[in-house]
Structure 1
């Protein structure tokens, strides 16, 4: 307060300030000064004018509009960053209508694009979505607990799983990079690696099959090891030794033209992990059209 602070950020408990006022250390007149300053700014912004209130009917007509949602989906897809693009069945964009095995991706999103199986040994390609590593910290009440922190290295069990999967079928790996991840151990494992920053399954599928071209670039470098992170200067960007990917890296599709979105009705998606209500569907396979036309089955998928 003596330094001129009028508003404390991140504070929800006024007990300390009330105690100072009651003890006579802070006069109420000082609080009045801060209140006047804060209210003055609010009045200058017109926050208390009737004309500034939200027009509910106008908001309903604007928020969630189809063209805005489509633009948002397009932006998500274009933001995806293609880090590597291998050959064979895992080369992007995926061609034809492959048989795929998925983890971390809603299989219904692949309707029309691919047939989905639950056994990777029967697939042409595997698609896995995962997150950059992090370690829980704080006790739930600390601000730190709201953020992902800790080592950037994938756990050994996850690396082992991805290696086993890639040994059985070409692997396309999509990693949510809310923070850099140590991808070096996966460069020889995954045929293709994509980075996303919060894109939906729909956006990813549109890029995988060429409906949209990935145009993203890394907003930070991807270090090659935690040792390189430890010796880097924390106040200098892009300062790790021999990074796996430099700041701004991002590949593009060659000779790309938008792929037409197919009709999903004929796609086969194995539903072994979704118990079909009343046994109406084959527990090993069912067409998307069959599943989506059934209210109870659709409810089960929505809950998952």
Structure 2
């Protein structure tokens, strides 16, 4: 019943979106063929690569960024990187110093496009970034920073997923970004997954499929940018991170069809431009031991021939360990192309990668017609996104006006309010007293906010100051609140938090992947903090601000919530739920297993309290 209802909702959402946005623009093959006919082989091979360059200005990077470019590429500026390699695309990151403000990003995009237009085959770039939201977002505020995929899954509303994608796509396009590496189509069926987790919409393939399709329509039909469903054939059931290792997924073919395939089928049906590969081994799909990125049975046999995908296949970063363990960096790009990939992302040595592909053509391992096939798909995508006409410049002043504008922030607030999930309220602490002057909702605490002192403590993200944001929100509503971020606390910090809790009426403690005592929370420091606070006998509320799985470890805390993220918007929505300004609406998009018996759900899929 749930699946049929969701399918009905998603179907009507997609139809409405298509009706408003109209059909996608069709590529003109004759234009693409004429471009290919006049390109040299090095220019064609350059179109197959997308990578980063250091600096916030295309022609005048800082001295440090120029030095970083020289070390990586032998030239000083991002514009020179584009010209030297005839790049098909660039990707923006914070760590490569590309992203500061809407005006700066738009100006950088214009400069890079000018470089591409004045050199080589004069083909514009496909500019991309990873704006999944939640824990993976690149554009800084004032960009509208939506909750991540699992939060949207908790909200259960495909229209919200569509709206978040539409607004994100509009803001990206305004700053000159035409491709977003989102949404994640992975089904997170393994709570111990170290790399996907809250980047997934949930553990139900139908839920993930519906949300994925809604976001594809939001990005592509409504906002006009290219989306990428990732990570094919599905990265949701692993205990290894492909950034650091080569994960194996042991789903049978039937399990893959039931669990992993539905979101990718939905993305393809919705017209997805791009599918990103995963550096994972799935023996039931390819017994060779090759990662999917290098697997012809998976990329060509499964994705293209069986699922019918005709768009661009982009690799995940070729600098990740998962794709570099079996073959050398000179072989990986060649093998990826032979497997069926088109766009090769971020090789660790761009010179080596490009020259390896050229050498493979020279010695007959790759044919030029095989290169042409991938170039044709890439140029067709660029044509579809309006990049093969006039130079694709953007207006930096208009970008400043559009990015983060009030209407977008209002949509953000409403969407995020619908994601906060109350898992337990055994002590009847919630909702707390509302803003002074409002009638308390039924069941609200009888202690006036002005007489209540609240300690907000626990894990804190410096980029968002989630502890401080929550404390400030409670203070704005009349509470006497104190912020005490602990990070991963040592014994002294735990003792400080306990002493502070004893001096306050209520403590709200935030945790971030406290379940992962192997890597993220070595020694269980966050768990020790929560238990010590509970032992004070004072009321405690625990909030999992990333993975909801944390709460299963805190039986001694009778009030538990999950936000699935720690952005400012998530903390503001948490404040409104705690104080009764809005009713909690979120429903778990995953099972939360019992630590003592992982086969038993402590909280099942769909659980969530409201009032």
Q: 1:172 to 1:32 in 2, by over 3 A?
A: same
Corresponding residue SS for 2:535: helix
The answer to whether 1:121 aligns with 2:492 is: no
Instruction: Give the alignment of 1:146-161 within 5 angstroms.
Output: 155-161=523-529
What's the CA shift for 1:53?
4.8
Corresponding residue SS for 2:610: coil
User: Is contact 2:592–2:603 with CA below 8 Å preserved after alignment?
Assistant: yes
What's the CA shift for 1:77?
2.5
Corresponding residue SS for 1:116: strand
The answer to whether 1:198 aligns with 2:562 is: no
The answer to whether 1:93 aligns with 2:444 is: no
Distance in 1 (CA, whole Å) between partners of 2:455 and 2:574 is: 15
Distance in 2 (CA, whole Å) between partners of 1:184 and 1:41 is: 45
Corresponding residue SS for 1:194: strand
The answer to whether 1:250 aligns with 2:608 is: yes
Q: 1:112 to 1:26 in 2, by over 3 A?
A: closer
Corresponding residue SS for 1:60: helix
Q: 1:236 maps to what in 2?
A: none
Distance in 2 (CA, whole Å) between partners of 1:43 and 1:215 is: 42
Q: 1:112 to 1:27 in 2, by over 3 A?
A: closer
Q: 1:6 to 1:207 in 2, by over 3 A?
A: same
What's the CA shift for 1:57?
4.2
Q: 1:25 maps to what in 2?
A: 365
Normalized against structure 2, the TM-score is what? Answer: 0.33
The answer to whether 1:48 aligns with 2:388 is: yes
Corresponding residue SS for 2:586: coil
Q: 1:209 maps to what in 2?
A: 579
Q: 1:184 maps to what in 2?
A: 552
User: Is contact 1:83–1:250 with CA below 8 Å preserved after alignment?
Assistant: yes
- Correspondent of 1:130 among 511, 516, 520: 511
Q: 1:191 to 1:135 in 2, by over 3 A?
A: closer
Q: 1:249 to 1:53 in 2, by over 3 A?
A: farther
Normalized against structure 1, the TM-score is what? Answer: 0.63
Corresponding residue SS for 2:374: helix
Instruction: Give the alignment of 1:61-72 within 5 angstroms.
Output: 61-72=401-412
What's the CA shift for 1:252?
0.3
Corresponding residue SS for 1:84: strand
Q: 2:342 maps to what in 1?
A: 6
- Correspondent of 1:39 among 379, 386, 406: 379
Q: 1:67 to 1:32 in 2, by over 3 A?
A: closer
The answer to whether 1:102 aligns with 2:456 is: yes
User: Is contact 2:516–2:522 with CA below 8 Å preserved after alignment?
Assistant: no
What's the CA shift for 1:165?
0.9
Q: 1:248 to 1:155 in 2, by over 3 A?
A: farther
- Correspondent of 2:532 among 158, 161, 164: 164
Distance in 2 (CA, whole Å) between partners of 1:183 and 1:116 is: 23
Distance in 2 (CA, whole Å) between partners of 1:159 and 1:47 is: 51
Q: 1:29 to 1:160 in 2, by over 3 A?
A: closer
What's the CA shift for 1:202?
1.9
User: Is contact 1:93–1:210 with CA below 8 Å preserved after alignment?
Assistant: yes
Distance in 2 (CA, whole Å) between partners of 1:153 and 1:58 is: 43
Distance in 2 (CA, whole Å) between partners of 1:33 and 1:46 is: 20
Corresponding residue SS for 1:183: helix
Distance in 2 (CA, whole Å) between partners of 1:102 and 1:129 is: 8
Structure 2 unmatched ranges of 5 or more:
1-336, 434-444, 459-466, 485-499
What's the CA shift for 1:186?
0.6
Q: 1:93 to 1:83 in 2, by over 3 A?
A: same
Count matched residues: 225
Corresponding residue SS for 2:418: helix
What's the CA shift for 1:181?
1.8
Corresponding residue SS for 1:249: coil
| CA RMSD after TM alignment | 3.1
Q: Deviations over 1:11-32 (max 9, x none)?
A: 4642432342344422445323
Instruction: Give the alignment of 1:76-91 within 5 angstroms.
Output: 76-87=416-427, 90-91=429-430
Q: 1:131 to 1:5 in 2, by over 3 A?
A: closer
Greater helix share, structure number: 2
Q: 1:183 to 1:40 in 2, by over 3 A?
A: closer
Corresponding residue SS for 1:83: strand
User: Is contact 1:183–1:244 with CA below 8 Å preserved after alignment?
Assistant: no
What's the CA shift for 1:163?
1.7
What's the CA shift for 1:83?
0.2
Q: 1:267 maps to what in 2?
A: none
